[in-house]
Amino acid sequence: MDIEKFIRNIQDFPKPGIGFKDITPLLNNPEAMASCLDLLISNLADKKIDKVIGVESRGFFFGTLIAQKLNAGFIPVRKPNKLPFDTISASYELEYGSDTLEIHVDAIQKGDRVLIHDDVLATGGTAKAVCELVEKLGGEIIQCNFLMELSFLNGRDKLPNKEIFAVLTY
Protein backbone atom coordinates (compact mmCIF):
# COMPACT_ATOMS: atom_id res chain seq x y z
CA MET A 1 0.00 0.00 0.00
CA ASP A 2 1.22 3.48 -0.83
CA ILE A 3 0.94 5.16 2.57
CA GLU A 4 2.28 8.44 1.20
CA LYS A 5 -1.13 9.13 -0.35
CA PHE A 6 -2.53 9.25 3.20
CA ILE A 7 -0.24 12.10 4.26
CA ARG A 8 -1.72 15.52 3.64
CA ASN A 9 0.47 18.57 2.98
CA ILE A 10 -0.66 21.72 4.77
CA GLN A 11 1.12 24.87 3.64
CA ASP A 12 1.99 27.66 6.09
CA PHE A 13 1.26 25.62 9.21
CA PRO A 14 2.04 26.19 12.04
CA LYS A 15 3.57 29.38 10.63
CA PRO A 16 4.20 30.92 7.21
CA GLY A 17 6.79 29.10 5.12
CA ILE A 18 6.34 25.72 6.82
CA GLY A 19 4.94 22.77 4.87
CA PHE A 20 3.34 20.52 7.51
CA LYS A 21 2.98 16.77 6.91
CA ASP A 22 -0.43 15.88 8.38
CA ILE A 23 -0.76 12.19 9.29
CA THR A 24 -4.39 12.32 10.44
CA PRO A 25 -5.71 10.84 7.15
CA LEU A 26 -3.30 7.91 7.71
CA LEU A 27 -4.56 7.47 11.27
CA ASN A 28 -8.13 7.55 9.99
CA ASN A 29 -7.64 4.54 7.69
CA PRO A 30 -7.21 1.14 9.42
CA GLU A 31 -5.63 -0.54 6.39
CA ALA A 32 -3.16 2.29 5.89
CA MET A 33 -2.27 2.23 9.60
CA ALA A 34 -1.67 -1.52 9.51
CA SER A 35 0.48 -1.20 6.40
CA CYS A 36 2.46 1.64 7.96
CA LEU A 37 3.01 -0.36 11.16
CA ASP A 38 4.32 -3.29 9.12
CA LEU A 39 6.76 -0.96 7.36
CA LEU A 40 7.90 0.61 10.65
CA ILE A 41 8.86 -2.79 12.07
CA SER A 42 10.05 -4.32 8.78
CA ASN A 43 13.75 -4.07 9.58
CA LEU A 44 13.52 -4.98 13.27
CA ALA A 45 12.98 -8.75 12.98
CA ASP A 46 16.55 -9.63 14.01
CA LYS A 47 16.88 -6.93 16.69
CA LYS A 48 15.98 -7.54 20.32
CA ILE A 49 14.12 -4.47 21.63
CA ASP A 50 13.30 -4.14 25.35
CA LYS A 51 11.67 -0.68 25.29
CA VAL A 52 10.11 1.57 22.67
CA ILE A 53 10.11 5.31 23.26
CA GLY A 54 7.36 7.41 21.74
CA VAL A 55 8.07 11.13 21.54
CA GLU A 56 5.27 13.58 22.37
CA SER A 57 2.88 13.61 20.87
CA ARG A 58 2.68 12.13 17.41
CA GLY A 59 5.28 9.51 18.30
CA PHE A 60 2.73 7.99 20.66
CA PHE A 61 0.39 6.84 17.86
CA PHE A 62 2.68 4.23 16.35
CA GLY A 63 5.08 3.93 19.29
CA THR A 64 2.58 2.01 21.39
CA LEU A 65 1.65 -0.23 18.45
CA ILE A 66 5.32 -0.93 17.69
CA ALA A 67 5.94 -1.82 21.35
CA GLN A 68 2.99 -4.21 21.34
CA LYS A 69 4.16 -5.90 18.11
CA LEU A 70 7.71 -6.27 19.49
CA ASN A 71 6.52 -7.44 22.92
CA ALA A 72 8.42 -4.52 24.44
CA GLY A 73 7.62 -1.90 27.04
CA PHE A 74 6.48 1.55 25.97
CA ILE A 75 7.96 4.77 27.37
CA PRO A 76 6.43 8.18 26.75
CA VAL A 77 8.86 11.09 26.46
CA ARG A 78 6.99 14.31 27.13
CA LYS A 79 7.20 18.06 27.45
CA PRO A 80 7.95 19.42 30.95
CA ASN A 81 5.54 18.81 33.82
CA LYS A 82 3.44 16.22 31.99
CA LEU A 83 4.87 13.09 33.66
CA PRO A 84 3.73 12.37 37.23
CA PHE A 85 6.89 10.76 38.68
CA ASP A 86 10.51 11.90 39.06
CA THR A 87 12.08 12.81 35.73
CA ILE A 88 15.30 13.81 34.04
CA SER A 89 15.28 16.28 31.17
CA ALA A 90 17.17 17.33 28.07
CA SER A 91 16.82 20.63 26.22
CA TYR A 92 17.23 21.23 22.51
CA GLU A 93 17.23 24.15 20.11
CA LEU A 94 14.43 25.03 17.74
CA GLU A 95 14.60 27.55 14.92
CA TYR A 96 12.58 29.95 17.11
CA GLY A 97 13.91 29.13 20.61
CA SER A 98 14.40 26.04 22.71
CA ASP A 99 12.33 23.28 24.25
CA THR A 100 12.73 20.50 26.79
CA LEU A 101 11.75 16.83 26.99
CA GLU A 102 11.43 14.63 30.06
CA ILE A 103 11.47 10.92 30.86
CA HIS A 104 10.78 9.07 34.11
CA VAL A 105 13.99 8.25 35.99
CA ASP A 106 13.02 4.58 36.26
CA ALA A 107 11.83 4.10 32.65
CA ILE A 108 15.06 2.54 31.40
CA GLN A 109 17.35 0.12 33.18
CA LYS A 110 21.06 -0.08 32.43
CA GLY A 111 21.52 -2.24 29.34
CA ASP A 112 17.94 -1.97 28.06
CA ARG A 113 17.85 -2.12 24.26
CA VAL A 114 15.80 0.87 23.12
CA LEU A 115 14.01 1.83 19.92
CA ILE A 116 13.23 5.55 19.66
CA HIS A 117 10.16 6.35 17.56
CA ASP A 118 8.81 9.69 16.37
CA ASP A 119 6.70 10.74 13.43
CA VAL A 120 9.25 13.01 11.72
CA LEU A 121 13.01 13.45 11.63
CA ALA A 122 13.40 17.11 10.73
CA THR A 123 16.33 19.14 12.12
CA GLY A 124 17.24 16.33 14.53
CA GLY A 125 17.09 18.36 17.74
CA THR A 126 14.26 16.38 19.30
CA ALA A 127 15.80 13.01 18.42
CA LYS A 128 19.20 14.09 19.75
CA ALA A 129 17.65 15.14 23.08
CA VAL A 130 15.84 11.80 23.39
CA CYS A 131 19.11 9.95 22.64
CA GLU A 132 20.77 11.92 25.44
CA LEU A 133 18.03 10.89 27.87
CA VAL A 134 18.29 7.21 26.93
CA GLU A 135 22.07 7.19 27.26
CA LYS A 136 21.97 9.10 30.57
CA LEU A 137 19.78 6.31 31.99
CA GLY A 138 22.11 3.59 30.66
CA GLY A 139 20.05 2.39 27.72
CA GLU A 140 21.48 1.17 24.42
CA ILE A 141 19.91 2.83 21.38
CA ILE A 142 19.25 0.16 18.77
CA GLN A 143 17.55 2.41 16.23
CA CYS A 144 15.92 5.79 15.72
CA ASN A 145 12.71 5.03 13.84
CA PHE A 146 10.55 7.56 11.97
CA LEU A 147 7.50 7.59 9.78
CA MET A 148 9.02 10.42 7.71
CA GLU A 149 12.42 12.05 7.24
CA LEU A 150 12.72 15.57 5.86
CA SER A 151 16.19 14.96 4.46
CA PHE A 152 16.67 18.57 3.28
CA LEU A 153 16.83 19.64 6.95
CA ASN A 154 19.86 17.36 7.60
CA GLY A 155 18.56 15.93 10.88
CA ARG A 156 20.81 12.86 10.50
CA ASP A 157 23.80 15.10 11.12
CA LYS A 158 22.75 15.45 14.78
CA LEU A 159 22.56 11.67 15.19
CA PRO A 160 26.06 10.43 14.33
CA ASN A 161 26.66 6.72 14.84
CA LYS A 162 22.94 6.02 15.24
CA GLU A 163 21.04 3.60 13.03
CA ILE A 164 18.20 5.56 11.44
CA PHE A 165 15.15 4.20 9.64
CA ALA A 166 12.37 6.19 7.97
CA VAL A 167 9.47 4.76 6.02
CA LEU A 168 9.24 7.88 3.80
CA THR A 169 11.90 10.39 2.82
CA TYR A 170 11.22 13.86 1.49
Q: Tell me the catalytic residues.
A: 58, 95
- The string over 91-111, giving b where at least 16 C-beta atoms fall within 10 Å of a residue's C-beta and e elsewhere, is ebeeeeeeeebbbbeebbeee
* Rounded Cα–Cα distance for residues 160 and 144 (Å): 11
Residue 156 burial by CB count (10 A; 0-12/13-18/19+): exposed, middle or buried?
A: middle
